[in-house]
Structure formats: structure tokens, C-alpha cells
Structure 1
């Protein structure tokens, strides 16, 4: 690639920005200054030299009820992004996660300039709900880069675009998640460390803190020993601290990322809100009880649209519902308590999770390449095919 090529990247949330930053680093390692990268992103992509069209913080949305209020701003940013792509057509457009935003950009770009190759980094959850999206994506996405190993097969079955498993970024962090001998000794010692993970958004904190606090209080009242640790983020510290004020059991609050990783390595069990953290815990070998409580409207929508037997990411990747999940009306201390007691003790339920988690390294392997390197290879292949 002797002539300078141009890639336009679009990431609308922090998780996508992290993937985008790693992808940019991998692209730069292969191509050096023969590649120009522009677009929309956050701090990680800025660290790789991207000057974002606008700040992405306001685009972070959680919950169906949040969308109408922000819709005019979102639509304006979609138009701005599309116009920027079309004003100087790149050699490829890479959209990263956040399908409600990025796919609208991709559809508009494809309609206006079908010659621009479009790569989608992170498959939408077509395997969980709205499966018809997969077939529709063929009209405007040329290749999907999947984070989960079962997603290529899902796209084949649903008639989606070509899809390749490139790997989840968590598999690059195993050294920071797995305990050394000293940490394993702490994991086996008494009182056991119990991770409490109510969520990474303010709305999740509101929905889960009360029931999690009451569950821990009942566990302590039964005489079960444990040391509670609650990892959170700096921007949620005040919200979490306020919600902890009336907890009978006060966990140790952890904000620093290194301390969070240390807590994962020492933990014997976890009480966690469902989400990506369940895969993180599984890779760390930490048995868990999972829960989720959303608004009544979100629950109504989910019951009518979700088409998978489990919403727990760790279960989906393993292919077996080994992690117990308590959703909506089941997210109550009466249901959480006995399950949590089981994973803290040396029970069959705990052993079943540990044995299943041990299979993840093989299931999620990407061989000698990192996920970002695999992703970069496919993005560059789309450039080469466009130039042919």
C-alpha cells in the first residue's frame, strides 16, 4: 500500500471507543503513516491521533425510555457524521458497536455512495432479538467483525453479511484476571471475598442497589461469613456511596482499575448485574449469581422480543446455562440468597460453574493474533478489495 489510504471510523460510546483505539493501533503498526484515520470517537481513539468530529459523551444512552429525549441531538449527529463521510469519501468506513447510531450512518452512506466498503466491528445482538436485522444488514454492511465465537454461525443461519470471529478484548486481559498463588490462597481463605457488581450506569445503580443490599444483609444474618467488595467507576462513586448509606453490610468500595482487577483475582464469588461483566467473571474463574431489573416497559418489550434461553453472556458463550439468572420479578432477596449461598460454598452448583469456565480459553481462542490484529487484517482486506 504505497499511496496513502483513508479510513473513516465511527464509535459512539466508550466501549466502542476502546475497540476503536486498539484497532487504530493495530492498523498503524501494519501501515505506519501510509494510512490516514479520521472520524468520531473518544479518548482511546484520540490517543491514537483521531480528532473527533464532536464529543461522544452525550450519545451514551441506556434504556428505551431515554431515547426520545435525546432523539433530535442524535439525528443531528447522524447527519453530521454522514455528511463528513460523503464530503471526502474514504477507502473504507468502519462502524463500531452502538448500532442505533452507527447503522443509521452506514445506511445513509451506502445509499449515497455504494462504492465505499463498510465494516461493522461488533455484531448487533441479532441472535437474541430482532433476528430480521441480520438479513437487512446485507444491504449496507460488507463484513461483520464478531466479538463472540457463536456469532458467525448466527449470521449464516439468519442470512446476514459475511461475519468473522476476531475475538473479545477480554481475552487479552487474562493475566490481569487470573490469580497468582498468593491470590488463589486468598480466594480459598475465610472470610471469602464476595464481589458486588450492581452495574456501570446510574439507572442500573438505581434498579439494583436496594435488592443487592438487602440480599447481603440477609446473608450476614444467616451467619455466612464474607468480605464484600464493590468495584465501581469514578463518575459513579457519589451515586453508589449515596445508595450504600442505609446498607447494614458496608462493602469496601474500589474505584481504581488495578484494585478492581486485584479484587477479581481474590474473589470466591460474585453477585452481579447481567452484562459483559459476567464474561469477565467467568474468564477470571469466579462463580456468580446474576440479576437484572429494568423498567416495566423494558421488561414488557424484552418478553416479547428476546429469543434466547438465557441473557447471561457467559452462558451464551459456553453454550450451557450454568450461571443462575434472576430477572425482573425474580430479582428479589428471597431468590438471590440461596443461590449466593451456594456459590460461596463448595457445592455442586459452584463446581459446575468452575468446570464450565475452564472451557472458555479454548472456546474463545484467537490463536497467535490478538482481536485487534485480526480485526485490522480484515479492514485492510476491505481496502485492498476496493482498490482491485
Structure 2
């Protein structure tokens, strides 16, 4: 009996976990393919919800999927670690040493994993564009650890603001979906928190949203951008377009025109780039933003045994936006065609993206969406609740896909029940 084919998936985000789950049910169950999922965290969360975790309006304890238990139930293995190198000649990846942060002790030495094929699904990060001071003085929200760290600092700052009666200043760079939704979600957290009568007077929270371009939500139609801009201003969130940041210090942002925006919290949610590790991938071709360049069938241009999906990939002939929708469809494409490629050497056909549109939700205040044909249901009678429910439905669809229908519905029900037991925002 021949050894099973060794497939390694690096990254447990939307694309990576969906791919491991689907392949586990097919070729993993049969034992013909040994599937290993590698991630530097122990649990998966839906990345479009990170702004809710940061604001404390959602508790990631209820919304995360533990890799170890999920792998055990779906016929693949989980390996904790962060990739630090690739040896294409020997088909081997290197995992960085695991170091205990506080004590600086090495818990696990450098390790290696051999593969017959590897799929990179390592996502993306905000792009600082080399702006001085960003890395030293800004908060990023690219993963659940960063979102939790933000929330802890946010709660402590609110406690001080309540106790001292002083305002809390927050500035967010980036007028895309992440920045816009975070601004609204922070306002929602303060609105809910004020209902608990912590002190007689709710402190003032001054939020400023900085966007370098002429309008926020540039990927949406202009009428949606204008409506979202108006909604944020009604929430007393200052929206400044055409505001190019030239530097950051410990007190705030320095704009290109020489003015300043001082803030206690400085969040960077602008731009998208691949993790820096893609630059040291043993000669694989990278795009300008560090994404791995792939053919239309998602194989890298330099090595047919290496694939890339989601935000870390760049389709050479037809680049796609770094969205959850694209990542999910690419994962489904490979899950459908990889078994035949592995077992029968059947060529993988080109990936075809089906644009189903986009949705943005501003907390419980408003929402907008677009269909793939460009028609909006955001500027007229159907904006608001319908879009917000659509945004929630996308997350529930993701849960059901990973859990299966029975467990997915139970997860939805328990989340609903949890709302009757716990506060609506994280308070500890």
C-alpha cells in the first residue's frame, strides 16, 4: 500500500478552514490524502467580525472554532505554528520556534513539515505604505489577538473616561469597510454601555475617520458612500476625506497638509498587503503587495505543487479584490478539483469568480449592499434592516458550512439564547 499524499494547508482563515473541512470529508476520510492545517493561532474566527470583537459588541468565545476539535471531527490534522521558510527542492516548510512572550522561553524549537502539495491561505494585513511611525504608534486589527488587545485597552480607557469625566479620542485611518464599520461599532458600544448607568454622565467619545481618497467605501457605488458618510456624521463621527497621513507619533496623526489629528487610540485600517513571509518563499513570484502570483487555476507560476488562495494570492491575468467572498469561492474551487488532480493527475480548470455583490453594516444603525450587476439595494427603500440582516446571514452561512446544517443551526440558536444571559457588550 502506497503512502498517502501529503497535503499541507497554511492558514486557517475563511479559505483555509473551508478547504480543509471539505477535503477532509472527501479524500481525507478515505485515507488517500493526509491533510494538515497549519496556523499560528488555536482557533478560527470570521475575519469580517473583527471590528465587533474590537468594540466588544461580540464575544469571540462564542464565535470561534477551535482548530484541534474541528480537525478531529473532519478527518484532517492541525499543527500549531507559523511558517518561516520554504524549501521547494525538498518540498519542506519550516515552522518558526514557539517562544513564550512574557518569559521569552522557547517552548518549541524550529520544526519542519514535508509536503507533496501545499496551499497558502495566509490572508493579508493592513498596508502601512512605509508611513513613518505607523508600526510604532498604531493599532492594527488584522487578527483576533489584535482585536482582543484593542478591546482590553478600549475598556480600560472607557473606565478612565467614566471616572475622570474626560473625553476619549479615537482616530481611524482607512475609509474602507473595516474602518467605517469599526467607527460605527465603537459608537454602538458606548450607546449600549450608557444603558447600564455606570455613572450619572456618559463620557464623550470623539471618533475621527481619515480617508486619503475623495470618499469612503470606494468599492461601493457613490450613493452608498454618500449615505454612509451622512450616517456617520449623524452619529457625531468626524469623517475627513482627502486626508493623507504623512506620519504618526505618540500623540496622533500628522497629515500631508501639515495639520494634526491627535488621538489616544490610533487605528490603522488602510490598504492591504500579504504577510511579509511571502517575500522569502524560495523564489516564488510576488506581486507588488507581496501576494503570491498564481495562474488562473490558482497554482503558483513557479511551482505546480504550490497553490495560493484568498487575500495572499494574485491571479496574474485577472486580479480580484481581497474579500471574504473571493477567498470562499477559491476554496470551493480547489476543494472540487484537487482530489482529481491528486489522485489522477487531472488538470485543474481556471477559477471563475461569480460576483454576488457586497454588504456593509454600520452596527445597528444602518446598512447598504450591492448586487454583482451594480444595482444597489442601499440608497432606497430597502436599505437598513435588510442589509444588516444580510450581513448576519453571511456569517450564519459560514457557520453552517463549517459545522454542517444541524450543528450550524444549533450554534445560531445558542448565540441567540446567549443574548438573554450575557450583557450586549463585553464588560470584563
What's the TM-score once normalised by structure 1's chain length?
0.29
More helix by share: 1
What's the TM-score once normalised by structure 2's chain length?
0.27
